[in-house]
Structure 1
Amino acid sequence: MYKYAIVALLLLLCRLNPACAQMHEMKKNFLHPPDYAKPGVYWYFMDGNMTAESITKDLESMKKAGIGNLIFLEVNVGIPRGPVDFLSDEWISLFAHAEKEARRLGIEITLGIGPGWTGSGGPWVKPQQSMQHLVSSQTIVTAGNKQKIMLPVPLPKKPFFGEGSLTDEIKAEWNRYYEDVAVLAFPVTEEIKQIIDYEEKALYYRAPYSSAVVKPYLPSPGIASIDKNNIINKSRIIDLTGKMEADGTLNWTPPSGKWVIMRFGSRNNGAITRPAPVPGLGFEVDKFDTTALNTHLDTYIGKLLNKIDKPQKNIPGGLKRLHMDSWEMSAQNWTGRFRQEFLRRRGYDPLKYYPVYAGNIVGSLQESERFLWDLRQTSQELVLENHARHVKAYGKRQNLLLSIEPYDMNPTADLELGSIADIPMGEFWSKGFGFNSTYSVIEATSIGHVGGKSQIAAEAFTSQNDEGWKQYPGAMKNQGDWAFAAGINQFVYHTFQNQFLPDSLKPGATMGPYGVHWDRSQTWWPMVSGYHDYVTRCQYLLQQGRTVADILYLTPEGSPHVFVPPASAIKGDTIGDRRGYNFDGCAPSQLMGAYVKNKQIIFPSGAAYRMLVLPVIETMTPKLLAKIGELVKQGATIVGSAPLRSPSLENYPLCDKNIKTLGRQIWGPMQNALTETRGKYGLGEVIWGSAYRENIDNLYPKYDVIANLLRAKNISEDFSTNQAIRYTHRTANGWDMYFVSNTTNQPVDFNGTFRTKIGSPELWNAINGKITRLDNFTVSNSNTSIPLHLDAYESAFIVFAETNKWTATNTSKLVTEQTIAEINGSWEVSFDIKWGGPENIKFDALIDWTKRSEEGIKYYSGTAVYKKSFDVPSTGITGGKRLYLHLGDVKNMARVKLNGTDLGVLWTAPWMVDISTAVLQENNQLEIEVVNLWPNRLIGDENRPDDGIKNGHWPEWLLKKQPRPSKRNTFSTHRFYNSKSPLFSSGLLGPVTIKQKL
C-alpha cells in the first residue's frame, strides 16, 4: 500500500508541475498517438469512375492501415471516363456518402476548392469573372491624314499551357471575351524601347519554379540611363477613352507629328481548371474579385455543404478543411476594379503607366520599373486579401480550416501566400522519380515555424513516369526522415488512387504515371500499419513545442518570390540537411509582428531567432526599414547593408529620402563601408560590409559567414557530431527534444553534442514506442554529449526533461550483440495460387525468387509464407539476456510469428524482432510472411497478350463483365514495364539468425 501511495503522490506532484504533466502526456501519447497525428493521403477520383462500394472499401482500408486524413480531389489523368458526371446529383450523393463514411471511421477530409488540383474554377465561371490580363493594340497615326482612325481589338496573350489545353467550347469563349478599358495616345518616340522581361514583370506569365528555368525573384529596379528621346513623356500622354466608339472608331484629330494610339482591354488569361474531369473544365475564377469567388464557392463548395451535416470542430472525422493546392494557374494583372484598387493602395493613378504593361518606358526606366513593382505588389495584395483570406473566412464560417501549398507558378511571394494558411504545405518528390521541389518544404516549414503552426504538412513522395510500384516503406525511410528533420510533421502521401475496379484486377487504377502507389491494391498494404505507426509517433512528437533555429533570413519585399536559402546552409545531396545552426525564412509581413526580448527576435507564436539576415538587394520600403530599425533599437542583431532606395513609386521621390534618413539613423554615417563594420543602434547591433554583400549565394551571405558571427557570440551549434547524422530540435518550457537520423545505409557509432542541459536524456524509439533511459552522458557548459548507436537509416528522439534528475554514470557501454545461432537448412514456402504462385514448395536454402526457374515464383508478386522449426542453444535461454530474431536481407517487408505469437511487422533496419517472451528451447515454430513488389508480376505478364485499355477505351470484357481473355494475373490502367524490364530481387534472403544483446 505504501508503494502505491508514493506512486500516487508522485503523479499528483507531476500534475501540479506543468512541465512534468506535459512530459507525462507526451509519453502516454507517444506509445498510443492520437488520430490527428496520423499520416494522410491524396485521395484521387478519376473523372466519373467511382462507386459507393469502392469509397467504403478505400476508407475502411485507410482506417485499418493507420491513415487518419485525406485530401479529396477529382481529376482526369490517363483513365477513360466513368459513368458518374462531376457535380451531378449522383456525384454529390457519392461525395456525401464518402463524408458520412469518413465520419463513421474518424477520418478527416480536406476538400480542394475546385475540380482538378490547380485552383478554383469550373464551367460556371463566366469570362468576366475569370482571371484577366490587360492587353493592348497599337496604331500609329500622322497629323493631317484624313483617313478614319480604326483601333483594332487587342489580342489575348497565349495561354501558358498553350491553346491546345483549351476545349473547342472554352477556346471560343476565350476568343470571344473582351472588354474595353482605356485608349491612350502619345507622340512617337525616336526608337521604341522595351523593358526587359516585361511580360514576366507585368504578370502575364509566371512559370513553375520546380520544373522550369525561372527566376526565384525579379531583380529590383536599377538606376539606368536611357536617351530621353526613347522614353514616353508622361505629361504628353492623352486620355482618349471617351472618344472611341464601340466598333473601335476613334473620333480624334491628332495635333502635329506622329502619334501612337494604344487601345487597352481586358481578356481572359487562358487559365482553366486542370487536370479537371471533363464536366468540371472551365475558366479559373478571378483571384482579385470576391464577388466572382463567392459565386464559384457557392456553386461548388456550397452544393456539397448543403448535402452533408454541418462540419463540427470537435467531432472526429468528416469534412474538416478546404485546400488550395500548388498554384499552377500562371498570373493575372487585371480585374474590373484594378485601377481603383491600385489608386487606393499605392496613392497614385496608374492610367498613364498602362503603356508599361506592353514593355514601353514611361517617364524613365526607373519610374517604369517601379510602376511594375507596384503593379505586382497590388496584385499580390488582392490575391492575399480577396482570394486566400476570403477562402479562409468562407471556410471558417463552416467550421473548416484552410491548407495551402503556396508554390509553383505563384505570382505572389510564396511565404506571403502560405502564411495565411492554418496548415501550410510543401511538397517533395520521391528521390530519383521526379522534380526537386525541396525548396517548398523549406518554405512551408519556415511559414509554420514563424507563425507557430502545430501542423506543417507535405504532399509526400510525389513521383512520375518510372516509379511504377518500386517504392515501399523501407526504401522511403531515409527521405521521410529528411522531411521530418526539415520540419515537416504531417505526411500526405501522393497518392491513394480510388480503387474502383474489381478487387481481382490489381494493382488496379493509377493516376496515370503519377504518384507513389499508396493504396489498398499494394502488395504490402496489409503490412503498412507498422510503418504508419512509426510515422505517426514521429509526427506526434514533432508537433509538440516549437522548432529551435538561430538564423532568420528576411525575404525581399515584392513578388513573385520563391524563398531559396543559401545553398551553403544545407549539407549533403538534393535532400540536403540543415547544418549546426538551423534557419527559417520570414516574409516582410510576418516580421511586422515581431519584437525583441533577451536579444532575440520573438514572434507572437513564440518562435525565437538570434540573428536577422537581410537579403542582398538595394531596395526596401520605408515601412519595412522602420520596423527593422525598431527591432535593432530593442536589441536585435541585424546582418546586412542599408538599402539605397524604395522599390516603389508610392510617395516618390520622398520615399527615397526617407530611406536614406532611416539608413543613416540605423547604420550611421558609414552605412556604405566596404570592410566589415559594426554599429550600435539603441540596444542592438548592425553588421555589414563587403563580406556580407559579395560572399553570397541565393541573396544571402554564405553560411560560414553567419555561423562565425554566432560563434563569436559564444553560441555553440545546436547539434554537432563527426558522423553523417541529421537533426532537428524542438523545445518548450521544461524540455528539449532532438530528432536524430542516420543518413547512411551502414550502422554508425557517434558522439552527439546537444545544446541543452535541461535534464538527463532518454532515447525514444518511434519504431516500437519504447523509451530508454540514457546513463552515459557528459554535461559541459550549455551542452550535453552522448555516445549513440544508430543502425542503417535508423532514427531516434533524444529527449531532455527537467524532471529527469539522474546522474550520469559514464560507465555504460554502447549495446553490442552476438549471434548465438543461425537458422539454416530448408524452408517450406507457400505462395498465393490466385497470383500465379505454387501453393507449397520446399526451398533447400534461402534464395532470391527471381533466381528460381519456376515462372510462378520468378515473376511472383505478393506474399509468401516461410515456415521452419528450430532449436535454441541452452546458453541462449538460460543466460537471462534478451533474444532477437534477425532476418538479414528482406525484399521487401515481413511479418514474424513465433509459436503462434504475432511479433509484428519488420520494414526497416535492423530487421530484428525481440523473441524473448515467445521463444522455446526446442521445436520453435517459425512463420515469416514476406511480401515483395508488383513489378515482377507486371513484367512477367508482358509476355502474354495485352487485353487492357486501348486508345483511351476500357476493354469490352471489362465493360460487359465477361471472363478475361488473356492469362494475365495483373491489370493496371498505366503501363510502366515491358517483358525485357529487369526483375526486382524478392523474398527472404537471410541469413536468419538468433542474436543476443550484451
Structure 2
Amino acid sequence: MASGTMGVDELNSIGGIGRRELLAGGGALALSSAVPCTSGYWRVAAALPQALPTAAPDLAERWRNPPRDAHLAAYWYWMGGAVTREGITADLTAMKAGGIGRAAMFSIGKSGKTPQVSPPADALTSVWWEMVEHAATEAERLGVELAMNMCDGWATASGPWITPQLSMQHLIWGETRVDGGRTIDMALPTGDTKLGYHRDVAVIAVPIDREWETTSEAATVTSDLPLANPAALADLANDAVLIDTEQGGSIVYRFAKPFTLRSVTVRTPNAKTGFAPGVLRAANSLRVEASDDGAVWRPVGRLDYPGHGWQTDLTTLTHAVPETTARAFRFVHRPEGPFDYDENQDFGQETALRLKGLHLSSMPTVHHLPIKSGAAWGRSRRMDDTVLPPASCVNRAALVDLSKSMDVNGRLRWRAPAGRWRILRIGCTTTGKKNAAAGLGEGLECDRFNPEAAKLQFDNWFGKALARLGPAGKRALKIVHVDSWEAHTQNWSPVFPADFARRRGYDVLPWLATMAGVPIDSMEASEAFLFDLRRTIAELARDHFYAPVAAMAHARGCRFSGEPQNPTFLADGLDYARYVDEPMGEFWVNTPRNDKPNDVKDAVSGARIYGNKIAGAEAFTQGLMTWREHPYLFKRIGDHNFCEGINHLHLHVWAMQPWPDRAPGMTLNGIGSHFAAQQSWWKPGQGWRDYVVRAQALLQAGSAVADVAYFIGEDIPTRALMPRNLSPALPAGFAYDSINRDALLRLATVRDGRIELPGGASYRVLVLPQTDRMTLPLAERIARLVADGATVIGPRPTRLPGLENGAADDERLTALAADLWGSGKIAETADLARLLGAPAFVAEGTTGIEWTHRRSPDWTMFFLFNPSDREARFVGHFRSAGAAPELWDADRGAIEAAGAWRNDGKVTSLPVMLDPGGSVFVLFAGKSDRRPVSDISATGPRFRRTSRGVERITYIGVPIEIRGPWNLRFAELSRPHAVKLDHLRSWTQLEEPDLRFYSGLATYSIAVALPRARTDRELVLDLGAVANLATVRVNGRQIGYAWRPPFHVPLPAGLGGRVTIEIDVANTWRNRLIGDHGKAETERVTHVVPMLRKGQPWLPGGEGAELDPAGLLGPVRILARSVTRLSGG
C-alpha cells in the first residue's frame, strides 16, 4: 500500500497458509514465531496467560535465572601491551550486559618499538600489574568472574624464572662406535644439547655384530618414478627433495650379496599443511617386497604410518621391518587418498610421494623410536618377536655400564673387550620449549615431572597476581587456567629415575639403551619396557603437575580449568579431569581440517567419569577469520558440540579493546572469531547469547546418560574414542562414554548390574579394547566388577603389556583370564543391540538428528539438534515411561506441554519438527492425568496443551506481504542517513557508497493496521530473508530477536489496530572492510589492528572481492494461525 500501512480487511482475508511447528505435537505453555508457510512447524513462543506450570520447577528456575556457570565465558586477550583502564572497564561492562559471566585474561605478545598505547602494559611491568588490579576490581564491581592463564601468552606453563634445570627435558645421546681389544681414551659427544644445559645420566657400551652396520649405501638404486638421481636416496647427507609426485611406481635397491634388512629410515620434507613438520603418509606407507633374483618378488610388509600430533616432527622416521635377507628390495608406492580428517593423524596426509631419502639398514632398532620413547607424540603399532627375533637383540647382561669410567669433562677411559661396540653417552637437556605468544613473561616450560617446578610457576604468575589484589579483586579472580597444551612432550627429568622405580618396581637405568633405539633381550621385552616408560610419563604429568596446581588453587579458594595434553604430550587423555575442576576441549569454525573433535571427547568423557558437572570448550577458534561470522553459524557448530556433551562455551576470542570508540578494533592477528562490543551485530546478537545461556543452564543440570562405557586401554597415549573407532560399533539410538584405567581401578562399583561412578555416571555395559594385553591390577578389578554383576565384553588377555612384576603377574593373569573368559563370565563378542534393549532415542522418518540425554531423580531430558539445511519431520521415540513430555525452546525462552504423544510403558513417542539447524529440549517430568492426542504422525495435525485443554493449531488464510514503502535509517554513520524504500533490497544495491558498503545496525520502520485481537487467532511476523540478524519492536516495545532462519517473531497477544513496526538489522563487518580496502587511514570507516598479518594484507577487499547481501531482504509477511480447542483443561 502506498501509505506503508496494511489494512484490516487484508488481514481478515488470510487463509490457506500451511503449518509449521517447532515442537511436534507441541501443546503450548507458550507459542512462538512460525516458520514459512511451505514448511510445517512452529517454534515455542513467549508464555501465554493460559500456560501450564512445568513439572520440573528446579529446571524452570535455572531457565529463568541461569547460574553464573551457565553464562558464556570469553577468552580476553590483552594484545601487545595495548591495554587501557578505559578499555578494561568498557569491555567488562559490555561482557556483563551481553551475558558473559567469565573473562579469562591472557597477556599476548609485547609492545615492541612502537607501542600502541603509552605507557604500554607489557606483562610483569608495574603498568601491567596496575591494569590487572583494575580489571579485577572492575570485574568484582560488575559481577564478572575472572580467570587467568597459567603464564604469559596462551601456552602453557612457562616464565623467565624457569631455569633449564627446572624446565621440560628429554633424553639425548651421543654415539661412538669402536673396535675393542684395546684401551679407549677419548672424549664422548653429548648429542643435541640446548641452551648450554647438559646433564649426564649414564654411559653404556652396547656390543654389536659387524653385519648390523651394513646399509643401503652399498646398494644400486633404480626407480621408475620421476627421479633424476636415484642413488642420492641412500645418501644420508642429502637434504634435497628428490621425489615429489602423485604418480605410482617403485624404488629398487639391489645388493651385490645377500643383505639382511631390519630397518628403513624415511626422510621427507615438511608437510605442506598443519603447524609442525609432521610425518608424510605416502612416504611412510610404502609396501616392501624382497627378491633373491630381482625377478620374483615376495611381500615383506608395509611401512607403518603412525598417528601423530599437530606439533610432531617426524620428517626423519625409522621403521623396524620384519627381518628379511635378500639380494634386492623394492618399495612400492600406490597413490591413495584423499583421506577423511583424523585429528590424530591429519597433518601430513597429503597424497603426493615426497622424499629426501630412503635408507636401508641391518641394524636392529626400536620401531618408531621417538614415539615409543616419548620423545614425540604419536601412536605406533606394537612390535613383537616375529619382527625381530631375540637372537638379533642385545642381551641385557652383555651391556657394560661405563658411567664411572667417564670423567667430569666427558672423557672416557676404558679397556674394551674384543669385538665391535656402540658407546652411548646418554644425558638430558632442556627441550627448549617456551610459552607461545608470550611477551616479557617469556621463558622455558616448567618440568612436568617435578612438583617444585609447578609450584615455582604458579607462585610467580597466578600466585603473585592474587597477592597483589585487594579483597574485591580476590573475589573476582577465582580460576587458574591451563590452555591449549602447546609445550610438546618430555621423557626425562632428574627426578624421573626414582619415580619410575617407585611406580614400576624396577630400575630404569639398565634399559636406557632402549630409549636410544637398542632392542634389549627381545623386541617383546623392549616394547614392554617402553610401555612402562610411557605410562610413567603420563602419571608423573598428572600427579606432579595437574595435582599440585589444583591443590595450590584450591588452597587459595580458587578453581582450576584446563584443556587436555593430547595430542602433543603423552597422556591418558581423560585423567587430567581427575584434578581439573572444569575440563575443557576446543572446537574450530571455518577450518575443518584444524578442528579438535577428540579434544571435545576427552573433555566430555573426562568430566563425566570424574564427576565434573561442567565440560567446557574453547569455542569458534579459527586460523583466519573471514569477517562473515555471525550467530547462526555459531549456533550450528555450538549445538553439535552440545550434543557431544559440551555444556559451557568459552568464546574465542575477545581481544581487549583499548580504544572503545574504534571498530572493529583490536584482533588476535585475525585468529579466532571476533567477539567484542565493537562487533557490528553485537546488540542483536543478544538473542543468540540468551539462547546459549538457557541451553547451558539445562545441559549442566542432572547427569549425562550413556549406556556403554568403552575402555580406552592402557597403552599411552590414550584418548577418548571417536565413533569410528568403537569396536564393536555402537548401535543407533544409544550413547557412550570413554572410560580410563584410573576410573576403573579407583572409582567403579556395581549396583543393580550397572557400573557406577561417584559423580553420577552409570553404564549398562563395559567394552574392552581390541588387545590381548592387560595389566594384572586391571584384570583383577574387572574380575571384581564381573563378580558384582557387571556386564563386560571384549577379547581375552593373554600377556602383560609391561615388565612390572614380571612372571608372577603373568601366571596370575593367565589364571584370571581362564576363569573369566573360559567360563563365559565375559564374552569376547556380543550383539550390543540385543544386549542393550530399547534405544534411548530414535528419530523415525529422518536421519542425522543429533542428541544428548540427561537425567535427575525427578526428570529425564533430551536435547535434539537438526544439523541439516532442510527441515526435519519425524516421530521421536524416547526411552521414558509415564511422564508427560514438555518442549523447551531455548531460543524463545518458552516451555510447551506436548498435546500429542503416546506411551507404551517403556517408550514415549511424539511428533517433532525441527528447522534447518533447529533444536529443542524434550523434557519428561511428572505424571499427567490429562489425556493427550495419541494418534500421532510426523505429518499429522499439530497440538498443544494449555490450562484450557488440548488445542489444535492450524494456519489460516494467505500470507499478506508488507510491501512498503519502508523507512530505513542508518544511524551509525558519521552523518545519519534516511532512505525510503518502495521495495526491500540489499544495502549493496543502494547507490551511495556509504550505504552500499555499510556494516552495522540500521532500522526499518512501517505502520501497519492490525485487526482486533481474538483468543482463537495468533499473528506472526515473518521477516523473510535477513542478512544477518534483527531485533523487532512494536510501538516502541521490543518483542523479539530474529537471528536464525526462519526469521519469525510472534506478535503479542491482544495486539490490534494501527501499530508501528521497527526492525533493527545488523550485518557483518565484511562489506565495510571491502569498501575501505586501499584507503588511507584517515579515509577509512573501520579501524582494525593489525592491518597486516605476517607482513601481508589480510582484510577482505581488492579485485574479485564480492559484497555479501545485507539488510532486511524480505518478503515481510503477516501469518495467522487459528487455535481450536479440542478438550477441556
TM-score (norm 1): 0.85
SS in 2 for 1:306: helix
Query: Would the aligned equivalents of 2:103 and 2:147 in 1 still touch at CA under 8 Å?
Result: yes
The corresponding residue for 1:101 is 138
Query: Would the aligned equivalents of 1:77 and 1:511 in 2 still touch at CA under 8 Å?
Result: no
Aligned-CA RMSD value: 2.9
Matched, 1:933 2:966: no
Spell out the pairing of 1:191-590 with structure 2 (5 A cutoff): 191=212, 206=312, 209=344, 212=347, 217-224=379-386, 226-228=388-390, 230-277=392-439, 279-309=440-470, 318-406=476-564, 407-432=566-591, 435-465=594-624, 467-500=625-658, 502-567=659-724, 579-590=732-743
Query: Would the aligned equivalents of 1:835 and 1:862 in 2 still touch at CA under 8 Å?
Result: no
Could you tell me which amino acid in structure 1 is paired with residue 718 of structure 2? H
CA drift of 1:223 comes to 3.8
Query: Would the aligned equivalents of 2:620 and 2:672 in 1 still touch at CA under 8 Å?
Result: yes
Matched, 1:189 2:329: no
The corresponding residue for 2:911 is 787
Could you tell me which amino acid in structure 2 is paired with residue 881 of structure 1? R
Spell out the pairing of 1:891-930 with structure 2 (5 A cutoff): 891-917=1027-1053, 919-922=1055-1058, 924-930=1059-1065
Matched, 1:35 2:35: no
- Cα deviation per residue 1:200-222 (whole Å; 9 max; x = unaligned)? 99999857838635986443453
The corresponding residue for 2:756 is 602
CA drift of 1:970 comes to 4.1
- Cα deviation per residue 1:947-967 (whole Å; 9 max; x = unaligned)? 4xxxxxxxxxxxxxxxx3x34
Once residues 626 and 285 of structure 1 are traced to their aligned partners in structure 2, the CA distance between those partners, rounded to angstroms, is: 37
Query: Would the aligned equivalents of 2:308 and 2:378 in 1 still touch at CA under 8 Å?
Result: no
Once residues 188 and 607 of structure 2 are traced to their aligned partners in structure 1, the CA distance between those partners, rounded to angstroms, is: 51
The corresponding residue for 1:672 is none
Task: Call closer, same or farther: CA 1:136–1:216 in 2, change over 3 Å.
Answer: closer
Spell out the pairing of 1:781-860 with structure 2 (5 A cutoff): 781-810=905-934, 813-814=942-943, 815-818=953-956, 819-832=958-971, 834=973, 839-860=977-998
CA drift of 1:151 comes to 1.1
Range with greater deviation from structure 2 (184-193 or 635-644): 184-193
In the alignment, structure 1 segments of 5+ residues that lack a partner are 1-19, 157-173, 571-575, 670-678, 693-704, 948-963
Quote the sequence identity (%). Answer: 32
Query: Would the aligned equivalents of 2:635 and 2:688 in 1 still touch at CA under 8 Å?
Result: no
Once residues 509 and 823 of structure 1 are traced to their aligned partners in structure 2, the CA distance between those partners, rounded to angstroms, is: 40
CA drift of 1:186 comes to 3.0
Spell out the pairing of 1:872-883 with structure 2 (5 A cutoff): 872=1010, 874=1011, 877-878=1013-1014, 880-883=1016-1019
- Cα deviation per residue 1:764-783 (whole Å; 9 max; x = unaligned)? 12122211111211011300
Once residues 758 and 431 of structure 1 are traced to their aligned partners in structure 2, the CA distance between those partners, rounded to angstroms, is: 43
Once residues 669 and 160 of structure 2 are traced to their aligned partners in structure 1, the CA distance between those partners, rounded to angstroms, is: 24
Task: Call closer, same or farther: CA 1:469–1:303 in 2, change over 3 Å.
Answer: same
Query: Would the aligned equivalents of 2:448 and 2:541 in 1 still touch at CA under 8 Å?
Result: yes
Query: Would the aligned equivalents of 2:137 and 2:472 in 1 still touch at CA under 8 Å?
Result: no
Once residues 44 and 147 of structure 1 are traced to their aligned partners in structure 2, the CA distance between those partners, rounded to angstroms, is: 58
CA drift of 1:944 comes to 2.3
Query: Would the aligned equivalents of 1:940 and 1:979 in 2 still touch at CA under 8 Å?
Result: no
Could you tell me which amino acid in structure 2 is paired with residue 871 of structure 1? A
Query: Would the aligned equivalents of 2:170 and 2:429 in 1 still touch at CA under 8 Å?
Result: yes
Query: Would the aligned equivalents of 1:325 and 1:405 in 2 still touch at CA under 8 Å?
Result: yes
Query: Would the aligned equivalents of 1:392 and 1:401 in 2 still touch at CA under 8 Å?
Result: yes
Matched, 1:67 2:100: yes
Could you tell me which amino acid in structure 1 is paired with residue 973 of structure 2? K
The corresponding residue for 1:161 is none
Could you tell me which amino acid in structure 2 is paired with residue 368 of structure 1? S
Higher helix residue share:
1
Spell out the pairing of 1:66-215 with structure 2 (5 A cutoff): 66-76=99-109, 83-145=120-182, 148-156=185-193, 174-190=194-210, 191=212, 206=312, 209=344, 212=347
Once residues 1118 and 901 of structure 2 are traced to their aligned partners in structure 1, the CA distance between those partners, rounded to angstroms, is: 31
CA drift of 1:911 comes to 1.8
Once residues 671 and 310 of structure 2 are traced to their aligned partners in structure 1, the CA distance between those partners, rounded to angstroms, is: 29
SS in 1 for 2:781: helix
CA drift of 1:452 comes to 2.3
Query: Would the aligned equivalents of 1:30 and 1:541 in 2 still touch at CA under 8 Å?
Result: yes
Greater relative contact order: 1 or 2 (C-alpha under 8 angstroms, separation 6 or more)? 2
CA drift of 1:852 comes to 2.5
CA drift of 1:912 comes to 1.8
Once residues 216 and 871 of structure 1 are traced to their aligned partners in structure 2, the CA distance between those partners, rounded to angstroms, is: 68
Once residues 524 and 309 of structure 2 are traced to their aligned partners in structure 1, the CA distance between those partners, rounded to angstroms, is: 18
Once residues 548 and 424 of structure 1 are traced to their aligned partners in structure 2, the CA distance between those partners, rounded to angstroms, is: 18
Matched, 1:632 2:774: no
The corresponding residue for 1:977 is 1100
CA drift of 1:437 comes to 1.0
Could you tell me which amino acid in structure 2 is paired with residue 470 of structure 1? R
Query: Would the aligned equivalents of 1:434 and 1:463 in 2 still touch at CA under 8 Å?
Result: no
Once residues 494 and 572 of structure 2 are traced to their aligned partners in structure 1, the CA distance between those partners, rounded to angstroms, is: 23
Query: Would the aligned equivalents of 2:576 and 2:606 in 1 still touch at CA under 8 Å?
Result: no
Query: Would the aligned equivalents of 1:182 and 1:240 in 2 still touch at CA under 8 Å?
Result: yes
Could you tell me which amino acid in structure 1 is paired with residue 460 of structure 2? T
Once residues 207 and 411 of structure 2 are traced to their aligned partners in structure 1, the CA distance between those partners, rounded to angstroms, is: 20
1:652 to 781, 801, 806: 806
Alignment: residue pair count = 898
CA drift of 1:133 comes to 0.9
CA drift of 1:94 comes to 0.9
Query: Would the aligned equivalents of 2:71 and 2:99 in 1 still touch at CA under 8 Å?
Result: yes
Range with greater deviation from structure 2 (716-725 or 885-894): 716-725
CA drift of 1:532 comes to 1.3
CA drift of 1:356 comes to 0.9
Once residues 228 and 551 of structure 1 are traced to their aligned partners in structure 2, the CA distance between those partners, rounded to angstroms, is: 41
Could you tell me which amino acid in structure 2 is paired with residue 49 of structure 1? A
Once residues 972 and 47 of structure 1 are traced to their aligned partners in structure 2, the CA distance between those partners, rounded to angstroms, is: 11
Once residues 97 and 308 of structure 2 are traced to their aligned partners in structure 1, the CA distance between those partners, rounded to angstroms, is: 51
CA drift of 1:489 comes to 0.8
Task: Call closer, same or farther: CA 1:347–1:206 in 2, change over 3 Å.
Answer: farther
Query: Would the aligned equivalents of 2:111 and 2:122 in 1 still touch at CA under 8 Å?
Result: no
Once residues 77 and 842 of structure 1 are traced to their aligned partners in structure 2, the CA distance between those partners, rounded to angstroms, is: 49
Could you tell me which amino acid in structure 2 is paired with residue 371 of structure 1? F
Task: Call closer, same or farther: CA 1:176–1:310 in 2, change over 3 Å.
Answer: farther
Once residues 789 and 392 of structure 1 are traced to their aligned partners in structure 2, the CA distance between those partners, rounded to angstroms, is: 45
- Cα deviation per residue 1:517-555 (whole Å; 9 max; x = unaligned)? 111110011222221111111101111111111111100
Once residues 204 and 779 of structure 1 are traced to their aligned partners in structure 2, the CA distance between those partners, rounded to angstroms, is: 49
The corresponding residue for 2:818 is 664
Matched, 1:871 2:1009: yes
SS in 2 for 1:850: helix
Matched, 1:884 2:1020: yes
Task: Call closer, same or farther: CA 1:971–1:119 in 2, change over 3 Å.
Answer: closer
CA drift of 1:794 comes to 2.1
Task: Call closer, same or farther: CA 1:645–1:204 in 2, change over 3 Å.
Answer: farther
CA drift of 1:291 comes to 1.4
Could you tell me which amino acid in structure 2 is paired with residue 834 of structure 1? L
Range with greater deviation from structure 2 (776-785 or 423-432): 423-432
SS in 2 for 1:387: helix
Range with greater deviation from structure 2 (987-996 or 194-203): 194-203
Once residues 567 and 889 of structure 1 are traced to their aligned partners in structure 2, the CA distance between those partners, rounded to angstroms, is: 38
TM-score (norm 2): 0.76
